[in-house]
Chains A and B, each alone.
Chain A
């Protein structure tokens, strides 16, 4: 049976997801450049787990497996989660997180298109709450050995040895080969009463934020700009998120520069760029109206800053995303744009009081 429209734009969910995956590549490449290939191991582990869990859940739910496996959405969840957790961690960390993300956060909510929460961030939240110790050991970037920050980098085979067997080379300890994130280090040293400027002179910091990690953030920014240019995402979420973060961090920094790091630090530290372009922009769990997107992203930026600066977690993007995900239906309901020929708004003037 023919039905109109007979024609459609050549596009598909799989292609959209593929483009997002491609947009992650500059960031991943810089990650490998600065931190070594261990991240590729966690991406691979997460990807395999995601596909396996996806196939299992689809068959348990009696859904066609092949078309959904090909939609690349599980891969995207896996990559985003892998990029959020330390690469030098026991192999099961990525596996548990990804399996939880796909099975619980995605499929128990109804599968593709139905999840209220961003699956990757649910996976991250589960890991940071359940395995906080494993989540704080980050590989140090190249170039810090001379500064004496870490004893000496592990070779790739030594990293693999640790990931899969939990074995470190003789005389090496985990603390000696890893470090806290720049955000964590800042927080720790602030507690010691050191001023921000002095802390940021430590060798683990680069020009804007963490040495190496700021470049990775730059890679994600580049990929994000591609997503904007390719019209995969609209500007509302990244602009509102980064803009709000900039403003809040700026205000605090101006009020007390000794205690609060500057706005650019916050933009390039932690998962700000990844969150702004790749995590908060997940279409399924973010608002569908442009005004709603602005509110959603601004709220997420505010929460991110508060959790980062005043909370106990190393970064705030994941929890900020999840908290704002809860608000999405309400935000969408109250930000309906006016319909053609109904300039009084969606529900008309008379019905202003009785929103459904």
Chain B
């Protein structure tokens, strides 16, 4: 039995996962319309390479990765592009984004798929393939996976697959591990090969015994395809929120703490979600880009369930499949701890959409009005980052952002454990997000101001230098003219002399003007 470690704090909210794990993953039917956002991942949006009216095949590239941190976007099925325009997407900001609208033709005609044997390729080649297959982290952040595999000279000893799924209600990873453990294990081996890691540890919370058994069986069944001297192991970890946070999971499994401001790779560990591993396997072994994912639809619905749905499926369709109940009051994308409310229901699901919780006042009664903080430090006891939320709250509230930063505000992972336990019902996480965004905005403003100041100073210097040079040139010319005049004045006719004098007067006036301008600038 592996020795497990623990992180400070954590909470035990009711899991509410049983509702959506009663039935197998269902395939959502093809919707009449798919809206595929070109910006579904962290980093730069993909650049559209199709136009309205184009007929596309299933798996055809719609958006080209554009920039270092970027990923490809594909047509989830065959059909016709009806529009490429700004549409409402599932993003906390509620702002519209560029989307390709696809009208499926129902024929599901694939592009030519090219499976590869990863063992015949270098990690760099495979990274490129994953980038072009649009593989991004499916745990929620949507970070392009190829970037996380580009580790440079660092030695990765441990690859951790995150199957903790610690957020209540969400069960898509649980169901995926139960049903497709083999593909996950194969994907894990590919990731291990790419990172050249020594071991693969799949962390799963102990409230998912079926998933653990399935993975264990898959590991022993795929013995011949795994590299023999490398260890593959399912690590059963205690169920505690946020045990699935990458830093917390690494801490529990390895005992290591990712230093503040550093990446897991700095301590020789890399972490991927189990669903991402599955996608990596499909992308390489079957040549299938990321076109669909498993999503949990739960909450105030008749049949909470997991669906395998195409990226771009309007969430309305999925919620309707689950049978939304009439007293619905809102929709959360993600879990009840860290998710965010959807701006509208007709937004499409994206690669990072792991769960939709249909909310009702009965399921999620509005929190009572906040009371003052009594410094009871239940939040301190719950904080997995060892912070002092009550102090950070005080600083955020009084806009003492400098002190908030000094008290490690940016080490807050916004897990919401503090808000969960607060007896005064203070929305602590909202305060921390506010303080963070204020600090970021200020830093941005300061940067802009610094740049502007430098530019302005340079501009002034340049103007002064130009005036000076101009004045010097004029002085030299004047001198030359003087000496020329002295030399040539005798040989001129009276008319010529008069014209000369007039010219001289004009020139003197110009010099006067130029000088006064230089004086003015100097002042």
**A interface, CB within 8 angstroms of B:** 1-9, 11-13, 15-16, 67-68, 71, 73, 111-114, 234, 283-284, 288-289, 332, 336-343, 346-347, 351, 356
Contact = CB atoms under 8 A, between A and B. Distances in A.
Interface stretch (B66-74, B112-120, B138-146, B330-338): B330-338
B411 interface: yes
A86 to B, nearest CB: 30
B368 interface: yes
Given A3-B341, A339-B411, A342-B259, A16 B376 contact: yes
B421 A11 contact: yes
Contacts of A3: 340-341, 427, 430
Contacts of A336: 388, 407
Interface of B: 7-8, 11, 13-14, 168, 247, 251, 257-262, 329-330, 332, 334-341, 357, 359, 364, 367-369, 371-378, 380, 384-388, 390-391, 403, 406-408, 411, 416, 419-425, 427, 429-430
Given A7-B13, A283-B374, A339-B385, A2 B332 contact: yes
Nearest to A328: B375
Given A2-B341, A9-B11, A356 B406 contact: yes
A12 B429 contact: no
What is the interface of chain B mostly: helix, strand, loop, or mixed? Answer: loop
A2 B94 CA distance: 14
B11 A340 contact: no
A5 B368 CA distance: 13
Contact of A339 (B336, B374, B387): B387
Contacts of B423: 9, 11-13, 15-16
Contacts of B380: 288-289
Contacts of B386: 337-340
B336 A6 contact: yes
A224 to B, nearest CB: 16
Contacts of A113: 371-375, 424
25 contacts: A2-B329, A2-B364, A3-B430, A4-B334, A4-B429, A7-B14, A8-B419, A9-B421, A9-B423, A11-B421, A13-B371, A13-B374, A113-B373, A288-B388, A336-B388, A339-B408, A340-B7, A340-B247, A340-B251, A340-B384, A341-B261, A342-B259, A342-B411, A346-B407, A346-B408
A9 B10 CA distance: 13
Contacts of A67: 369, 371
Given A8-B419, A341-B258, 5 more contacts: A4-B337, A4-B429, A6-B337, A7-B168, A8-B367
A341 B257 contact: yes
A7 B422 CA distance: 11
B80 to A, nearest CB: 36
Contacts of B330: 2
Contacts of B338: 4-5
B8 A8 contact: no
Given A7-B420, A289-B388, A2 B359 contact: yes
A15 B422 CA distance: 12
Contacts of B388: 288-289, 336
Contacts of B262: 341
Contacts of A284: 374-375
Given A288-B388, A340-B257, A356 B411 contact: no
